[in-house]
Chains A and B, each alone.
Chain A
């Protein structure tokens, strides 16, 4: 009996040892991946605080002391091209205007479309939903040549309208909202509201939207990030070249576009100014975002 116990114990020890070994190896591998994920950002922050001459001397893991000087060059130096190419505060403002309006329109009208399809019975219900599923697959690049030509014809280029209004039609978000409604929006609530004398639109705004808050929050964050990071559409539409109208990604592209880099420290400072706000926002909202991506994964 005791012999059997010891054999069993040995097997268990062996098993536990294997698990522990595997876990340790994996943790080391995850730490390596973490370093790979963070290293470029870390070098960016370090180099933003160093002068161009320091950077030429070699790679360093400790910050330098030229950050203030770099920021001053970026904002005020007339001789270097950074002042004219990169105006971070105009960039933040313009990007915020476009992004906030677009994110609001996306979630509001997607919720509305999903609500219309989910709650009401009408002839074209199934056809319109199938249509929305089909157009989810069309890449934006395919429509862009026609889009730009059409916008120039309508004299809407160089305005923010073509960047904001199309946000109303976001098929993927409609799909997500419909799936969410199917699982957590009972139709009885609509009937109860009707009996209480609420009109249809009011039912949607005061009852359906508050009930859909989790889905709306997640989709608002994703719409915000996607629009904020979008370089393609603004660069096609804002053709005028007026720096005060451009979005942040366009400005960072302008820093890149010149043949020669004039001051590496300032270059890194510009990039840092374009990246750091979104990283701070991410750290604050990371739980939400990760949960949101996971929700997107259970589509089937």
Chain B
């Protein structure tokens, strides 16, 4: 029996409070995230540095995605490859020319870069840099995701196995999660100090101690942990795995602990081996969390910035570590003067946005509820049958 007061309260509409409570979120979201996002889309159709307010259509996308010289097509942007180099020709004279115009027979020799005006990075260089950054992102993400998920999954299974007697589980968990809490910038600088390419580098000292490299001081391609191609990539993959495996492990562990324990009991009574339990029970029931981990890791991988950006000496990042996020950042920020390449940056951001969105959709599509789909299919089939039947009777509905 509702009292008069209660009835009165029920009749009052509180909807306006709902709007009031969620208003700050949406206001701030609009100004600081949604508008910047729209702004990024807009910027991708406008020019670079001095021409930021000039509409150029799809030129930025064409430049970073296609391998052609657009000097003729784009009348407004007449910039050639800006890196000027010298090479020594057959007569021993030093010749100055843009990087891309070196005659083929001189391409192999050690060329000397005399001018690299970042303001006028040519179209072909922008294209190469962007494609390289996409490749690097993919390599670095795969190289850190696969070991990370294998390590985390196996650790999570072992930690949650009630049969095993492992002392100090809490301690191991705390230690393994610890790298995740440390500032990524500091981690990058720390590993750089450890990987120095001279007698100060701890990694070189350890490698020397193990007999992998002969001399700590001498330059050797396989020990170029910062400036090389593959060694720094492996170091970055290692750092990323080191940073994130504890986090993934704890997420997966809580997922495994959410599985009904009677299933494991029943399996062990039926004599299933631990491998069978893992394949037939843990993995299928863990799949929602696995998808979540995969998607977050993928988005995180596409955003990978701090470690690849800082793992270098000097002003410019190692081009073998330049990820898409670093490319975006460099084009509007890391420039000597105030020439912001908003156009290229915006175009790369939009491409990154669509890659992220489609990857997310694909993963969710692959992992949607199989039962629901089967039911839907069945329903469709029945409908079709009904239609067929109605056709058999000459379209007359009986």
A residues near B (Cβ < 8 Å) are 19-20, 22-23, 26-27, 30, 33-34, 36-38, 40, 43-44, 47, 52, 55-56, 58-59, 109-110, 112-113, 115-117, 119-125, 128, 132, 135, 137-150, 162, 165-166, 168-169, 171, 174, 191, 194-195, 200, 204, 225, 228-229, 231-232, 235-236, 248-250, 252-253, 255-257, 259, 261, 264, 267-268, 271, 274-275, 278-279, 282-283, 286, 289-290, 293-300
Contacts and interface: CB of A to CB of B under 8 A. Distances in A.
Given A121-B18, A150-B39, A200-B17, A225 B181 contact: yes
B185 A249 contact: yes
B173 A290 contact: yes
A66 to B, nearest CB: 14
13 contacts: A26-B164, A40-B190, A116-B20, A117-B18, A137-B356, A141-B302, A143-B40, A145-B40, A255-B189, A256-B189, A261-B196, A290-B174, A296-B254
B141 interface: no
Given A145-B40, A166-B33, A282-B181, A139 B302 contact: yes
Contact of A295 (B22, B175, B254): B254
B206 interface: yes
A294 B289 CA distance: 12
Q: Which among A20, A271, A289 has the highest number of chain B CB atoms within 10 Å?
A: A271
Given A143-B36, A145-B332, A256 B310 contact: yes
Given A261-B200, A264-B193, A166 B32 contact: yes
A199 to B, nearest CB: 9
Contacts of B185: 229, 231, 249-250, 252-253, 274
A171 B306 CA distance: 23
A274 B183 contact: yes
Interface string B283-310: 0000011001001000100110110001
Contact of A59 (B29, B43, B188, B205): B205
B373 interface: no
Contacts of A145: 39-40, 43, 328, 331-332, 342, 345-346, 349
Interface string B31-47: 01101111111110000
Interface stretch (B94-102, B245-253, B384-392): B245-253
Contacts of A121: 14-15, 18
Interface string B1-21: 000011001000011111111
Interface of B: 5-6, 9, 14-22, 24-26, 28-29, 32-33, 35-43, 52, 155, 158, 163-167, 172-179, 181-186, 188-194, 196, 199-200, 202, 205-206, 209, 242, 246-247, 250-255, 258, 288-289, 292, 295, 299, 302-303, 305-306, 310, 313-315, 324-325, 328-329, 331-333, 340, 342, 345-346, 349-350, 352-353, 356-357, 360
Nearest to A147: B36
A13 B350 CA distance: 63
A249 B39 contact: no
Contacts of B190: 40, 44, 271, 275
Contact of A282 (B19, B35, B41, B178): B178
A141 B22 CA distance: 25
A124 B368 CA distance: 26
Nearest to B313: A259
B183 A252 contact: yes
A299 B340 contact: no
A149 B356 contact: no
B303 A146 contact: no
A146 B22 CA distance: 25
Nearest to A257: B315
A249 B176 contact: no
Contact of A148 (B42, B164, B175, B333): B333
Given A252-B183, A275-B183, A140 B303 contact: yes
A40 B301 CA distance: 23
Given A115-B21, A117-B21, 19 more contacts: A27-B166, A40-B191, A56-B200, A110-B25, A142-B356, A144-B40, A145-B346, A146-B39, A169-B25, A195-B5, A248-B183, A256-B313, A257-B315, A282-B181, A289-B177, A293-B177, A297-B251, A297-B252, A298-B254
A231 B303 contact: no
A134 to B, nearest CB: 10
Given A44-B190, A47-B202, A146-B39, A37 B332 contact: no
B184 A229 contact: yes
Nearest to B238: A36
Contacts of A139: 299, 302-303, 352-353, 356
Contact of B35 (A150, A168, A200): A150
B21 A112 contact: yes
A147 B33 CA distance: 7
B12 to A, nearest CB: 9
B49 to A, nearest CB: 12
A86 B145 CA distance: 34
B95 to A, nearest CB: 29
B347 to A, nearest CB: 9
A44 B206 CA distance: 15
A148 B255 CA distance: 39
Contacts of A123: 15
Contacts of A235: 333
A146 B42 contact: yes
A47 B205 CA distance: 13
A156 B241 CA distance: 36
Given A293-B250, A300-B288, A149 B43 contact: yes
A202 to B, nearest CB: 12
A115 B194 CA distance: 48
Contact of B22 (A128, A204, A283): A128
Given A37-B178, A140-B303, A144-B328, A256 B39 contact: no
Contact of A168 (B25, B36, B39, B313): B25
Contacts of A228: 183
A173 to B, nearest CB: 10
A232 B328 CA distance: 12
B42 A278 contact: no
